[in-house]
Amino acid sequence: MSKIGKKPVAVPSGVTASVEGGKFKVKGPKGELALVLPDKVAAKIENGQVSVSTSGETKQNQAAWGFTRAMVANLINGVSKGYEKKLEITGVGYRAAVQGKQLNLALGYSHDVVFAIPDGITIVTPKPTEIVITGTDKQKVGQVAADIRDFRPPEPYKGKGIKHAGEFIFRKEGKKK
C-alpha cells in the first residue's frame, strides 16, 4: 500500500479541479494545468478533496499510485501558489540581465550567453547577481533553473559560477609549495 497515494489532496478555494476521460485538469488564479493519468490509476473529486486510487497490487501500480498523487498535489499547489527558484551568481564580472524574452548572462566567456525564456516561466533579476525563476509547473521551473546553472556550474576552488540559493559548495584547498 502506498503511504503517499492513500492521502487525499485538498483543493483550496479559488481552484477548480476536474477529471475527464483519464485526464486531470486544474484551473486556478495562477493558470491552468493538466495531467494525463497513467493506466490502472484513477482520480475522483469528493468534498473538496482529490483522492487517487489504483486497481492493482503490483509494484508498478503502487509506484504509479504514489507518483500520480504527488503530481496532482504539485498541480494544485502550482495553480494556487506557484513555484519559485532562486539562483546566485558568484564571480568578478559575472552578471545577468533580462531583456524581453531573453536572459543575457555574462559568465566570463568570450561571448555573452543568451537563454530564451520558455512560455509559462517568468525570470526576474532583482540584482545583477541574482536570478529568480517563477512559474506554475514545478518540473518546468526546476528544469529551467538546472539549464541556467549548467552554463557555469560553481567550481570548488573559488566558488565562481551559478548556484542555487542556499546551496553549499564544497571547497578544495589549492596547491601548496
9: left (phi over 0), alpha (psi -120 to 50) or beta: beta
Same-domain check for residues 21 and 72:
yes
> Does 177 map to a domain?
no
- Cell representation of residue 100: 524581453
Domain of residue 59 covers 9-80
40 DSSP 8-state letter: T
Q: How many domains does the chain have?
A: 2
**Per-residue pLDDT tens digits for 133-170:** 999 999 999 999 999 999 999 999 999 999 999 999 99
**Global confidence as pTM:** 0.89
* pLDDT over 90 (residue 68): yes
State whether 22 and 87 are in the same domain. Answer: no
Residue 2 pLDDT > 80, yes or no? no
In a domain, 51, yes or no: yes
Average pLDDT of the chain? 93
Residue 69: beta bridge partners? none
* Cα dihedral: 78, 81, 85, 86 (round 10): 170
Residue 1 has pLDDT above 90, yes or no: no
